[in-house]
Amino acid sequence: MPVRIAIDSMGGDHGLPVTIPAAFAFLERNADVELLLVGDPVRIAERIRLEKKPAAHPRVTIVAASEVVEMDDAIEVALRKKKDSSIRIAVTQIKEGRADACVSAGNTGALMAISRYVLKTVEGIDRPAIATVMPNMAGGATTVLDLGANVDCAPEHLLQFGLMGSALVATVDGKVRPTVGLLNIGEEIIKGNDVVKVAGELMRAAADRGELNFVGNVEGNDIFTGAVDVVVCDGFVGNVALKTTEGLAQMLGGFIREEFTRNPLTYLAAIVALPVLNRFKKRVDHRRYNGASLLGLRGLVVKSHGSADAFAFGYALQRAYEAARHDLSSRIAEAMRGVGAGRSASQPLGAVDADRPRAEQVASLF
Task: Spell out the alpha helix ranges (H) of 217-344.
Answer: 222-225, 235-262, 264-284, 310-325, 328-337
CATH topology agreement for domains 1-125+296-329 and 127-287: yes
Looking at residue 257, what is its pLDDT?
Answer: 64
Decide: residue 85, CB within 10 A, 0-12 exposed, 13-18 middle, 19+ buried: buried
Q: Omega into 13 within 30° of 0, i.e. cis?
A: no
Q: Which CATH superfamily is domain 1-125+296-329 in?
A: Isopropylmalate Dehydrogenase (3.40.718.10)
Q: d(Cα 147, Cα 185) in Å, to the nearest integer?
A: 18
The predicted pLDDT at position 89 comes to 98
3-class state of residue 231 by DSSP: strand
Per-residue pLDDT tens over the stretch 105-164: 999 999 999 999 999 999 889 889 999 998 888 888 899 999 988 889 999 999 999 999
Q: How far is CA 309 from the centre of its chain?
A: 17
∠187-192-194 over CA atoms, to 5°?
135
Strand partners, 130: 294
Per DSSP, which regions of the chain are E strands? 3-8, 33-39, 60-64, 101-104, 129-135, 141-145, 180-183, 214-218, 230-232, 292-295, 300-303
Q: What are phi and psi of 180, to 5 degrees?
A: -125, 130
Residue 107 phi, psi (nearest 5): -50, 120
| Domains in the chain: boundaries | 1-125+296-329, 127-287
Q: How confident is the model at residue 357 (pLDDT cuts 50, 70, 90)?
A: very low
Instruction: Name the burial class of residue 58, with classes exposed (0-12), middle (13-18) and buried (19+) by CB atoms within 10 angstroms of its CB.
Output: exposed
Q: Say if domain 127-287 classifies as CATH 3.40.718.10.
A: yes
In the predicted structure, residue 364 carries a pLDDT above the cut 70: no
Query: Could you report the per-residue pLDDT of 296-355, keeping only the tens digit for each?
Result: 999 999 999 999 999 999 999 999 999 999 999 988 888 888 675 434 333 333 333 333
